[in-house]
Amino acid sequence: MTISKGDKIPDVKLVKPTGDGPEAVQSGDFFKGRKVALFAVPGAFTPTCSAKHLPGYVEKASDLKAKGVDEVACTSVNDAFVMGAWNKADGSDDITMLADGNAEFAKALGLSTEMDGYGMGTRSNRYSMIVDDGVVTEINVEGPGEFRVSSAEHMLGQL
Q: Is residue 138 part of a domain?
A: yes
Q: What is the pLDDT of residue 79?
A: 92
In this structure, are residues 132 and 110 in contact, taking their beta carbons and an 8 Å threshold? no
C-alpha span between 36 and 68 (Å, rounded): 9
Taking residues 14-34, what's their average pLDDT? 96
Q: What CATH number did the domain enclosing 43 receive?
A: 3.40.30.10
pTM (two decimals): 0.92
Q: Give the list of residues 6+ apart from residue 43 with CB closer than 8 angstroms, or none.
A: 49, 76, 77, 78, 120, 123
128 phi, psi to nearest 5 deg: -140, 155
Active site residue 74: no
Q: Is residue 5 part of a domain?
A: no
> Which one from 49, 69, 72, 152 is the annotated catalytic residue?
49
Q: Pick 120 or 7 by higher pLDDT.
A: 7
Tally of domains within the chain? 1
Q: Is residue 88 part of a domain?
A: yes
**What tens digit of pLDDT does each residue of 149-158 get?**
999 999 999 9
Q: Is residue 2 part of a domain?
A: no
